[in-house]
Amino acid sequence: MSAAPVFLCNSTAERATVFREAFARALPEIGFEQDAAAASTDDVRYLLTWTIPQGLERFRNLEVVFSVGAGVDQFDTGRLPDHVQVVRMVEDGIIRMMQEYVTLAVLTLHRDWPSYRAQQARSLWRALPTRRAGERRIGFLGLGMLAQAAMERLQPFGFRLAGWSRSPRLIKGVECFHGANQLPEFLARTDILVCLLPLTDETRGILDAALFAQLPEGAALIHAGRGPQLDADALLEALDSEHLSAAILDVTEPEPLPPSHPLWRHPKVILTPHVASVTQAETAAEAVIANICRHRAGEPMVGLVDRARGY
């Protein structure tokens, strides 16, 4: 086994350039390769990729696969040997962008921006009823790193924050719910629902008619999790019946939606093309380098995925 491990960057040329320069500064003892075909089968220990590439089994000494993104649901982890660790991207750029997106989306809905845009199209000048932030209940489906970071940005406004997760959490200033038994109570107290759940077998299709029915009348949805979590037909029905007042969607299934899909033109829907949070090459390189240093020191890596749970 070679004494010089290799990092294989299976990503864009632009991202690879940034990573190569960062590795040369911080980890010059680790080889850097961006051509999988040219990489030594015995030397590759670390891989950065969006999906599991074909022919991965030839890298017999692979130890860690780093995801380019914050999620790993795009990985077919069944193709990885059991000893290979999977790490999702946890970097400052992703966190900051998600904080911006969720804050913008919450304020957009809180201040009825979609309604005012619709009124403008009709040349209608009419003030709508306003609510103080302290009267607006924001609920997060998922209480992971990104959700908690977004909550930090919302707290100064005075919103009443709550979150739901599979297992118990304790977060200062946040009313926490967990498990299937507490989901109805969480939904019943939520005016704006923010979905930041990872995609798993349990969360696939979770945003359905039954869930929407448990939200208060006039509630709104912000979906920045994963497209397959949303039943689009159920959302359209909830909007058309006026049970839900609006939706801001950053993810869909498929992506992009077909041009004829009604979500494109629905007056109560704002669509963005999966841009809520995008990996930034410079800070991503720093995060990966820090994790490789942790791995070599025998310390736990940030963003390590429990392959059994899928996140």
Q: Give catalytic residues, as residue numbers.
A: 226, 274
Q: How high is the pLDDT of residue 3?
A: 57
Q: How high is the pLDDT of residue 40?
A: 87
Q: How high is the pLDDT of residue 46?
A: 98
What the chain holds in terms of domains, given with CATH numbers, is: 6-91+279-297 (3.40.50.720), 93-271 (3.40.50.720)
Chunked in runs of 10, what are the mean pLDDT values of the chain (311 residues)? Answer: 81 96 97 91 95 91 96 89 95 96 98 95 96 98 96 98 97 97 98 97 97 98 98 98 98 98 97 96 97 97 91 85
Render pLDDT for 38-86 as a digit per residue (tens, 0 to 9).
Answer: 888 899 999 999 999 888 999 999 999 999 999 999 998 888 999 999 9
Q: How far are the Cα atoms of 21, 26, 129, 189, 255 from residue 18, in angstroms, in the given order?
A: 5, 12, 49, 45, 28
Please check whether residue 90 is in contact with residue 300, taking contact to mean a CB–CB distance below 8 angstroms.
no
User: Does the CA dihedral 77-165-299-277 come out positive or negative?
Assistant: positive
User: Does the CA dihedral 180-104-238-228 come out positive or negative?
Assistant: negative
Please check whether residue 94 is in contact with residue 280, taking contact to mean a CB–CB distance below 8 angstroms.
yes
Render pLDDT for 166-203 as a digit per residue (tens, 0 to 9).
Answer: 999 999 999 999 999 999 999 999 999 999 999 999 99
Q: How high is the pLDDT of residue 4?
A: 85
- The pLDDT mean for the chain works out to 96
